[in-house]
Amino acid sequence: MSDLEARVKEDNPDPRVACALLLDTSSSMHGEPIQELNEGFRVFCDEIKDDPLARKRTEVTVITFGGVARVEIPFTEGRDLEPRTFHANGATPMGAALDLGLNEISAQKQAYKTAGLEYYRPWLFVISDGGPTDGPAFDAAAARVREAEAAKGVSVFGVGVGSGDLAKLSELSTTRQPLLLKGYSFIEMFSWLSASMRVVSNAGTFGSTDAGVAQAEATEQNPLPPPGWATW
């Protein structure tokens, strides 16, 4: 007598969580801050590969804003993510970076739909040690971010470093206050981020539309680890 053994489809694609990291690489980050940020990102790249689901479900893009805002790393699966050395330079065009981040997330979501991939709510994770130097662009971009958040299209996280403008960062979200990094504890912060990606990608809170994702989130809560890297 044999138990039921049936062939199953092995290569349907996993759902994805898109994570856009917006990193302030302006000149004020020069020295220890940018070194610690680079080290933290290296830890993130290592740790994201440790979890069997996070490594294939997490997709990360890095957008830097120092002088200009640009896509430094296009969306890459966790398992293929490689460390990179970022350099501090120039002003803080945070508004341009937010616009880029939203555009990238939106394009990625569209790509998921075209490919028949389901997805978790994307993350927009913004780190800055100053205030935006592109005021009007920032105001418009911040409004866009709040709108996307209200439509449950994205989860927004703001982290201030040193004299980072928490008031400006708080304009990005109506549901989540920005946190202030304890010293330059980028390693702890990035370690927390990889642990959070692990929590998300092991959860069942994904769907094929924003509304479907919100629906799944309503029935299953998955608390993130406590951010021990933040000061209170």
Binding site for other proteins (CB under 8 A): 1-9, 12, 14, 113, 116, 118, 202-204, 207-209, 211-212, 214-215, 218-222
For other proteins, the closer of residues 180 and 214 by Cβ is 214
In contact, 37 and 23? CB cutoff 8 Å: yes
Residue type, 182: K
For other proteins, the closer of residues 163 and 222 by Cβ is 222
The Cα 211–Cα 204 span in angstroms is 14
Q: How far is the CB of 198 from other proteins (least distance, A)?
A: 12
Q: How far is the CB of 3 from other proteins (least distance, A)?
A: 6
Q: How far is the CB of 219 from other proteins (least distance, A)?
A: 6
Q: How far is the CB of 111 from other proteins (least distance, A)?
A: 12
For other proteins, the closer of residues 9 and 232 by Cβ is 9
Who contacts 69 (Cβ-Cβ below 8 Å, separation ≥6)? 63, 93, 94, 96, 97, 99, 100
For other proteins, the closer of residues 32 and 50 by Cβ is 50
DSSP 6-74: ------PPPPBEEEEEEEE-SGGGTTHHHHHHHHHHHHHHHHHTTSTTHHHHEEEEEEEEESEEEEEEE
